[in-house]
Structures are given as structure tokens and as C-alpha cells.
Amino acid sequence: MVITFRPQGTCSQEMRVRLDENNVIEELDVLGGCSGNLQGIAALVRGMPAQEAVARLKGIRCGFKPTSCPDQLARGLEKALAGQAKA
């Protein structure tokens, strides 16, 4: 399954996450934002269960902003997983 969403309050403009049938992150692609940092995040979450990524990344802030790219990834994953549970 591929999840695509637009982060709010960050430099990145779009995130695409590919999950396998067990909700393990296979790939993360981010449009915009800090390329090196986001490539690092993508490499770290690859192979990680989506729920674990949410638990680790949710609430991270970027400077004085109330959110960050990792936080927005967690929020997007959380919404997608909640939508799966309702289906």
C-alpha cells in the first residue's frame, strides 16, 4: 500500500510511504525539505513497523516550530493506520 500526504508546517511538501502487507515501511520518499536529513530518516525507518515509527517520531519539533518532518511522517502514518482499522 502506498500512502501519500502533504505535511503541514514543515519545509517538505509531500511524503509517500510504501508499506508491505504487515505495515512495515518499505520505502519513504519526501519532496522538498532538508534532503540529507530526510534521506537519513528514510534509511532509518526502512524495515521498521509503521507503529514503531509513529511511537519514535511523534512529537519531535523543529526549532521553535510545533512540528517537524519526522512528526508529520508519524501523524500521516497514524492517520493511515487508523483508516485501515476502520475498513
Q: What's the confidence (pLDDT) of residue 84? A: 72
Q: How far apart are CA 78 and CA 82, in angstroms?
A: 6
* CB contact set of 21 (below 8 Å; sequence gap of 6+): none
Q: Indicate if the pLDDT at residue 86 is higher than 70.
A: no
What band does 17 get if pLDDT is binned at 50, 70 and 90?
Answer: very high
Phi, psi of 2 (to 5 degrees): -115, 130
pLDDT over 90, % of the chain: 94
CB 53 within 8 A of CB 25: yes
Give SS3 for 72.
Answer: helix
Cα angle value 60/57/6 (rounded, 5°): 85
What's this model's pTM, rounded to 2 decimal places?
Answer: 0.92
Q: How far apart are CA 84 and CA 5, in angstroms?
A: 15
What's the chain's Rg over C-alpha atoms?
12
Q: Indicate if the pLDDT at residue 22 is higher than 90.
A: yes
